[in-house]
Amino acid sequence: EDRLQTIEELSYVPQSIPKACTVGVVIDSTNAYFEETKNKYVKKIKLVDDTYNTSRYNPHQKYSYLTVFFYSPKPEDLPNPRRIGDILYLRRFSFGKYNDSFQGHYLETQYCSWALLSGD
């Protein structure tokens, strides 16, 4: 689905969502690391928006941010936020609850994409 949804809207869906779109502000990002079991580089980026953040209590989630996982055979193909406050648009990502946290996963298909914008 291409309708833009808030992170909070996505978090309330009880089952995993195979294709959804959202936008968030970057609050943390790991360096890319190689995951031998997947034979790919992995990068994790934490996002918030005005509906889902550390200032709003959510009794259903342990963490009040969305953790997004990106996978690629080459680290240069992964998003590389420059600073806290950059904006990340996620198009047709998979979303769901895993290990007490709300997560988004990049799907390696032609319909899944992302855009990183400077928060300046």
- Element of type H or E holding 114: strand 113-117
d(CA 62, CA 57): 10
Confidence band (pLDDT; 50, 70, 90) for 96? very high
Confidence band (pLDDT; 50, 70, 90) for 95? very high
pLDDT in tens, 35-52: 999 899 999 999 999 998
Highest mean pLDDT: which of 19-28, 62-71, 109-118? 19-28
Of 57, 46, 1, the C-alpha closest to 24 is 46
For the chain, the straight-line distance linking the first and the last C-alpha, in angstroms and rounded, comes to: 29
Average pLDDT, the chain: 91
> Is 110's pLDDT higher than 90?
no
Please report the pLDDT score of residue 71 as a whole number. Answer: 94
Confidence band (pLDDT; 50, 70, 90) for 62? confident
Please give the C-alpha separations between residue 10 and each of 49, 100, 104, 118, in angstroms, as whole numbers. Answer: 12, 15, 10, 24
Task: Tell me the two tokens of residue 116.
Answer: 């990183």
pLDDT mean over 58-86:
90
> Is 33's pLDDT higher than 90?
yes
Q: If one looks up domain 7-117 in CATH, what number appears?
A: 2.40.50.140
Please report the pLDDT score of residue 56 as a whole number. Answer: 75
d(CA 31, CA 51): 27
